[in-house]
Structure 1
Amino acid sequence: MRERPFVAELVKNVTVPRMFRVRQIFPRNKIEPEEIPGIIKKLLSEEKFSSQIKPGMKIAITAGSRGIANNALTTKCIADFIKSKGAQPFVVPAMGSHGGSTAAGQREILRGYGITEEYLQCPILSSMEVKKIGVNEEGKDVYIDKYAAESDGIVIGCRIKPHTAFRGPYESGIMKMMAIGLGKQYGAEVCHEAGFKHMAKNVPLFGKAIIRHAPVLFAVPTIENAYDETCKIVAVNADEIEEMEPALLKEAASYMARILVDSCDVLIVDEIGKNYSGDGMDPNITGTFCSPYATGGIAAQRVVVLDLSKETHGNGIGLGFSSATTKRVFDKLDLASMYPNAITCTVLGGVRIPIIMESDREAIQVCIKSCNEIDKTRPRVVRIPNSLHLEHIMLSEDYLEEIKGMETIEIESEPMDLPFDEDGMLW
C-alpha cells in the first residue's frame, strides 16, 4: 500500500471531536442465572411437555450461532430435564451455513459460547449432512440435520428477536431456527435463494413443514432485555408455535435497546462479530441494513468499524456496510468463514472491504472528512462498543445541550479527547 502515507496526509488535520460518556436507561426486567434451572424445570414439568419424553428416547436439542445470554446454561438445563426423564439428549448445531459450512467450524462456534460436551454432560453431534423429511405446502423438498431427523424427538432451543433484513410475523426465533438453522447449509440456501423479499413467507413455509414431518416436540425460546440479559423463558408445544410465536416476537421487539439519539454524522462501532448479530452489527441498531425490507436504527452518514470480536473467529460479515475500517480488522478476516455465509444468504454486500486505514484515528477521520453538509469543526459522532451492549456509549460534544434533561440518558463524564496512543490507536 504505497499510497498509505499520502492517504494519512489527506486526513491528518480533520478534527476528532471531544466526547463524553453517557448511560442509556432502558426497562430492566431480568432473570438471574441462578433462577434459570428452576424456571426450566417448572416449565417442562407441565404435563403436555414432560409426557412426551419417554425413557430411552434420543432427543436432539438445537443450539445456534448467536451470542445469546445464558445460552450454555439454558441448553444444559433442557438436557438435564431430558435426562431426568430417562431419555438421552444430544445437541445439534442449528446454524445454517455458519462456521464456514463445516461440522468442525460449527462445533467450534458452540465451544466459544461454552456449549461443550464436558459442560453439558451429553454428546454434541455436529454434521452438515441433511436428510429429506417431506415437502412443504408448495411441494418443495424439506431437509434438516440428519441427526435431528433420525432422533426420537427434537427440542428447539433459541432466542426470539427482530430480524436484521426482513419483517414478518416470524423473524429470528423458533420458525427460523427450524427452517434455516436445522436446515444447515442446504436449508439456508433454499430459504435465501428467493431473497429477503420472500423470507417472511419462506421461513414459516418451511418451519411448518418441519413441525409436520419431523419429530419436533416443543421449543424453549428466550427473550432478552435491552441489556443483553434473559428476561423471559417460555415453553411452546409444537402445535402452539405457529400461533404463539408472533406475539412473542412483538414482546421481544418492545424490549430491544437502541441508540437514544436519532441521527449522527459518524457512528463508531468498536467491535462487530457474529456473537453480536448475524450481520456482525445489528442494523436494527446501526441502520446498516442489507436489504430494503427492514428499516430502523440510527441514521448515520458514515459508519466506522474498529475491530472484530474474538468470538467471531475472523468472520467479518457486515463489515461491507461500514464506510471505513482498520488494518487490524483486515488482518483478522477469515474469508473462508465469511464467504459461505454471504453466498448462502445471497447478500454479498456484507463481505465487501471498505476503506482500510492504519489506525483508529485515521479511520474515524476519513469518515468525518467524507461527510457532506456538516460542520466539520463540530461533527456529531456516536461511539458504541458493539450493537448488543448499549447501556454505556459516547456522544460528541455537540449533543451535550440536546440531551440535558432527558430522563433516559444520564451524563457520566465531561467532554474529553479520545485517548489515542502515539500510533493513533484507542486504548
Structure 2
Amino acid sequence: MESLDLSKFSKIELPKFLKVRQNFKRDKIENVSDEVKKQIMPYINSLRNKKIAVGVGSRGIANINIITKTVINCLKEAGARPFIVPAMGSHGGATENGQIEILNSYGISEETMGVKIDGSMDTKIIGEYEPDLPVYLAKSVLMADGIVIIPRIKPHTGFRGRVESGICKMLSIGLGKQIGADSIHSKGFGRFSELIPGIGCMIAKKINVLFALAIIENAYDETYKIEFINKDEIIQLKREEALLKESRDLMAKILLPKFDVLVIDEIGKNISGNGQDPNVTGLYFTKYASGGPEFKKCAILDISKESHGNANGVGVSDVITRKLFDKIDFISMYTNCFTSTYMEPAKIPMVAANSEDAIKIAVKICNGVKIGEHKIVWIKNTMKLDNIIVSEPLLEEVKLNPDLDILTEAEDVKFYNGEPKFK
C-alpha cells in the first residue's frame, strides 16, 4: 500500500499558526486519597472476611490508580478481602490478558494494588430484561460476597439519555464482558437511553452492590468530585442523573464554533470510547447524539500508546497518517466494533505518508476556501484542550472571545521528516 506523493501535485500552502489557551473552570480535589476515605469509610462495615469485587474500567481516568488503591485499602481496613475485576465489556480484544494489560497501563496491577485481578471473561445469565435480551454478568462478580464499582460519569459519545456513561453503563455493559456488551449493543444505540438505566438497575437489584464511587472530572481532566452512591441511590437514578448534568457543564470544549479543518494529534481508547470524544469534536458515529463545532474536514495523526493499537473511531476522519495505520491492532479494533455493531468507527480513511501530508491533504480537499485562508483548529486530543493551535485566519475570532488567550505570534509551522515542530 502506498500513499500519495504530494511533490507530484501543485504545492499546498498552509497558513501561519499560533498557540492559544482556552480557559475553563478549574476547581479540583487536592488530596484524592483523603477524599476517597472521607466518602466511603463511614459507610463500610460488617465486611469481615467478605470477598468484595472492585470493578474498574478501561477509560483513562485521572488518579484511577490512587482511587482504586485507596478503595482497596479501606475495604481491607473494614476486614474485607477485595479483588479487582476489569469492568470494560469487550475492550482489550475481549481477552483476559488484554483487559489486565489495560489496567496495568494505568498503574493498576496485582503488585501495585496488593490484591488479585480476576480478568476472566466468563459470564452467567442472571435473567432477561425482555424476551431475547438476556442479561449477563461476570462470574467473578457473582462469586463474590459483594461488589464496588468505580465509574467516571460523563456524557456518552453515541446517545443521549437520563444517564449515559457511568454507573449503570459499567454495571450493564462493563461487567457483562464481551457477551453482555454484545447482547445490549445488538439492540442499537437508539435504545440505549432505555436499556442502560433499565438493565443497570436490574443488575443492581439482583446482586449485592455495596456502593459506586462516582467520579467527575473538570475540563482539564482532573478529579473534580468523588461521590459515594449506595445501592438504593443507584436504583433511583437521581444522583447519577444530577452528576451527569454537572459533568456536561464542566466539560472542555473547542471554544471556536465554526472553522474549516480539525487536526487531532492522537486518538485512543484511554481518551474516549470512540478514540476522540464527539461531544468535543462533533464527530459522532450515530444519529442519536449531536453537538459540537462545525467544520468540513478532519485529519488524525496518531494513536496513543495506552490504546494498545485499538484505533476505534478512526473512521470518522478524512485522512490519517502512515504511522497511525501501522500501529493499528485490527483484531482489537474489529472486536470493539463487532461488539458495538457499528462498523463506521473502524473504516480506514485516506492514509498519508506523514503528518505534514495529512494536514495538507485535509486542506486541499476542503473546498470553497482560498489558499492561505483556511481556518484550522489543531488539538492534542479531546482530553487536552487547554492549549490548542489555530491558524492565523482565526485570529480575530480568538481576540473577541474572553475565554481565549493568545500565547504566541503567528508563525509558519516547521516540519522535520514530515512531523511538526513548534517553538
Q: 1:213 to 1:3 in 2, by over 3 A?
A: closer
Tell whether 2:39 aligns with 1:43. yes
CA distance in 2, matches of 1:151, 1:360: 49
Q: CA RMSD in A?
A: 1.3
8 Å Cα contact 1:136-1:206 kept in structure 2: yes
Per-residue Cα deviation, 1:4-44 (whole angstroms, up to 9, x for no partner):
33x5523x511111110000000111012xx1222111211
Counterpart for residue 8 of structure 2 = 9
Query: Which residue identity does 1:26 align to in structure 2?
Result: F
8 Å Cα contact 1:267-1:383 kept in structure 2: yes
CA distance in 1, matches of 2:4, 2:135: 51
Counterpart for residue 348 of structure 2 = 353
CA distance in 2, matches of 1:362, 1:139: 49
Q: 1:107 to 1:8 in 2, by over 3 A?
A: farther
Shift, 1:118, TM fit:
1.2
Q: TM-score, normalised by structure 1?
A: 0.96
Shift, 1:150, TM fit:
1.2
CA distance in 1, matches of 2:125, 2:20: 52
Task: Provide the secondary structure at the position in 1 that maps to 2:180.
Answer: helix
Shift, 1:297, TM fit:
1.7
Task: Provide the secondary structure at the position in 2 that maps to 1:136.
Answer: strand
Shift, 1:2, TM fit:
5.7
Task: Provide the secondary structure at the position in 2 that maps to 1:317.
Answer: coil
Counterpart for residue 282 of structure 2 = 287
| Aligned pairs (5 A) from 1:383-402 | 383-402=378-397
Tell whether 2:145 aligns with 1:180. no
8 Å Cα contact 2:133-2:184 kept in structure 1: no
CA distance in 2, matches of 1:281, 1:319: 9
Query: Which residue identity does 1:277 align to in structure 2?
Result: S
* Mean Cα deviation higher: 372-381 or 121-130: 372-381
| Aligned pairs (5 A) from 1:210-225 | 210-225=203-218
Query: Which residue identity does 1:411 align to in structure 2?
Result: I
CA distance in 1, matches of 2:319, 2:338: 23
CA distance in 1, matches of 2:77, 2:53: 15
8 Å Cα contact 2:270-2:307 kept in structure 1: yes
Identity %: 45
Counterpart for residue 320 of structure 2 = 325
Per-residue Cα deviation, 1:212-245 (whole angstroms, up to 9, x for no partner):
1112111001000000000000000011012311
CA distance in 2, matches of 1:3, 1:70: 40
Q: 1:400 to 1:80 in 2, by over 3 A?
A: same
Counterpart for residue 56 of structure 1 = 49
Per-residue Cα deviation, 1:363-394 (whole angstroms, up to 9, x for no partner):
11111111122223210000000011100001
2:161 to 168, 178, 191: 168
CA distance in 1, matches of 2:125, 2:209: 15
Per-residue Cα deviation, 1:96-142 (whole angstroms, up to 9, x for no partner):
00000100000000011111111111111101101222333668422
Query: Which residue identity does 1:410 align to in structure 2?
Result: D
Tell whether 2:146 aligns with 1:147. no
Task: Provide the secondary structure at the position in 1 that maps to 2:97.
Answer: helix
Per-residue Cα deviation, 1:63-88 (whole angstroms, up to 9, x for no partner):
10100011111111111110001110
CA distance in 2, matches of 1:401, 1:419: 23
Counterpart for residue 248 of structure 2 = 253
Shift, 1:405, TM fit:
4.1
8 Å Cα contact 2:134-2:183 kept in structure 1: no
Shift, 1:419, TM fit:
2.1
CA distance in 1, matches of 2:310, 2:56: 19
Which ranges in structure 2 are unaligned for 5 or more consecutive residues? none
Per-residue Cα deviation, 1:387-421 (whole angstroms, up to 9, x for no partner):
11100001100111122142200000000111211
8 Å Cα contact 1:270-1:306 kept in structure 2: yes
CA distance in 2, matches of 1:212, 1:139: 20
CA distance in 1, matches of 2:326, 2:44: 50
Which ranges in structure 1 are unaligned for 5 or more consecutive residues? none
Tell whether 2:336 aligns with 1:336. no
CA distance in 1, matches of 2:126, 2:52: 17
1:426 to 395, 420, 423: 420
Counterpart for residue 27 of structure 1 = 25
Counterpart for residue 235 of structure 1 = 228
8 Å Cα contact 1:137-1:205 kept in structure 2: no
CA distance in 1, matches of 2:51, 2:104: 22
Tell whether 2:201 aligns with 1:205. no
Per-residue Cα deviation, 1:344-381 (whole angstroms, up to 9, x for no partner):
00110101110001011111111111112222321000
CA distance in 1, matches of 2:212, 2:145: 15
Shift, 1:45, TM fit:
2.2
Task: Provide the secondary structure at the position in 1 that maps to 2:415.
Answer: coil
Q: 1:195 to 1:140 in 2, by over 3 A?
A: closer
CA distance in 2, matches of 1:127, 1:378: 54
Task: Provide the secondary structure at the position in 2 that maps to 1:347.
Answer: coil
CA distance in 2, matches of 1:143, 1:152: 18
| Aligned pairs (5 A) from 1:87-102 | 87-102=80-95
Counterpart for residue 376 of structure 1 = 371
Task: Provide the secondary structure at the position in 2 that maps to 1:376.
Answer: coil
CA distance in 1, matches of 2:118, 2:124: 15
